[in-house]
A and B are shown apart, each in its own frame.
Chain A
Amino acid sequence: MIRFLIRRLFTMAGTLVVVSALVFAIINLPPGDFLSNQIAELRATGQEASIAKAEFLRKTYALDKSLPEQYLIWLGVWPGPEGFNGLLQGEYGWSFEFDRPVGEVVGETLWLTVVVNLAAVLFIYLTALPLGAIAAVKANTWIDYLAAFIGYIGLATPNFLLALALLFYGNRYLGLPIGGLMDPEYEGKAMGMGKAWSVFLHLIVPVIVIGTSGAAAMVRRLRANLLDELSKPYVITAQAKGVPHATRVIRYPLRMALNPFVADIGNLLPSLVSGSVLVSVVMSLPTIGPTLLGALRSQDFYLSGFILMFVSALTLFGMLISDILLALLDPRIRFSSRTRN
Chain B
Amino acid sequence: MSAPAVLSVKDLSVSFGAGRSETRVVHDVSFTLRQGQTLALVGESGSGKTITGKALLGILPKGARVTMGMAHLVAENSVDVSGPNEPGPECDLLHMTRKELRDVRGRRVSMIFQEPMSSLSPLHTLGAQVMEAVRLHTTHRGAEAQARCLHMFEEVGFPDPRRAFNAYPFELSGGLRQRGMIAMAMVCRPQIMIADEPTTALDVTTQAMVLDLINRLQAETGMAVLMITHDLGVVANMASSVVVLRKGEVVESGPARAVIGEPRHGYTKALVAAAPIIPEMVPVKGLHDPEITPIMRARNLSKTYITRGSGLSQKTMEIQALSDVDVTIARGETVALVGESGSGKSTVANLLLRAERPDDGAEIEFCGRDGLKQDIARLEGNALKAFRRRVQVVFQDPFASLSPRMPVQDILTEPLRIHDVGNAAEQRDRAVELMRRVGLSPDHLRRYPHAFSGGQRQRICIARALALKPELILCDEPTSALDVSVQAQVLDLLREVKEDYGLSYLFISHDLAVVAELSDRVAVMRRGRIVEEGPVESLFSNPMHPYTKALIAASPEPDMDRPLDLNAVAQGAGEPHTWPEPFGYVSGQAPGMVEVDHRHFVRRAA
Contact = CB atoms under 8 A, between A and B. Distances in A.
B282 interface: no
A340 B136 CA distance: 36
Helix, strand, loop or mixed for chain A's interface?
A: helix
Interface string B326-355: 000000000000000000000000000000
Given A242-B103, A339-B171, A237 B119 contact: yes
A237 B133 CA distance: 11
Contact of A252 (B106, B121, B310): B121
Contact of A233 (B115, B125, B137): B115
B90 interface: no
B295 interface: no
A255 interface: yes
A6 B311 CA distance: 9
Interface in B123-171: 123-125, 132-133, 136-137, 168, 170-171
A234 interface: yes
Contacts of B62: 231
B383 interface: no
A329 B137 CA distance: 27
Interface in A131-173: none
A251 B111 CA distance: 20
Residue among A234, A255, A335 with most chain B CB within 10 A: A234
Most A C-beta atoms less than 10 A away, residue of B113, B122, B123, B315: B123
B312 A240 contact: no
A232 B113 CA distance: 12
B132 A340 contact: no
A236 B309 contact: no
A241 B133 contact: yes
B105 interface: yes
Interface in B101-124: 102-107, 110-111, 113, 115, 118-124
B113 A237 contact: yes
Given A231-B61, A331-B168, A341-B315, A240 B110 contact: yes
B57 interface: yes
A196 interface: no
B312 A337 contact: no
A47 interface: no
Nearest to A339: B171
A7 B136 CA distance: 42
A236 B133 contact: no
Contacts of A4: 311
Interface string A240-270: 1111100000011001100000000000000
A330 interface: yes
Interface of A: 3-4, 6-7, 231-234, 236-244, 251-252, 255-256, 329-332, 335-337, 339-341
Given A243-B106, A332-B170, 17 more contacts: A233-B113, A237-B119, A237-B181, A239-B59, A240-B57, A240-B59, A241-B106, A242-B105, A243-B136, A252-B121, A256-B123, A330-B122, A337-B309, A340-B307, A340-B308, A340-B309, A341-B315
17 contacts: A3-B312, A6-B312, A233-B115, A236-B113, A237-B113, A240-B57, A240-B111, A241-B132, A241-B133, A241-B136, A242-B137, A243-B136, A256-B122, A331-B168, A336-B310, A337-B311, A341-B317
A-B pairs with lowest CB-CB distance, top 8: A242-B105, A242-B106, A241-B106, A337-B310, A341-B309, A240-B111, A233-B119, A233-B118
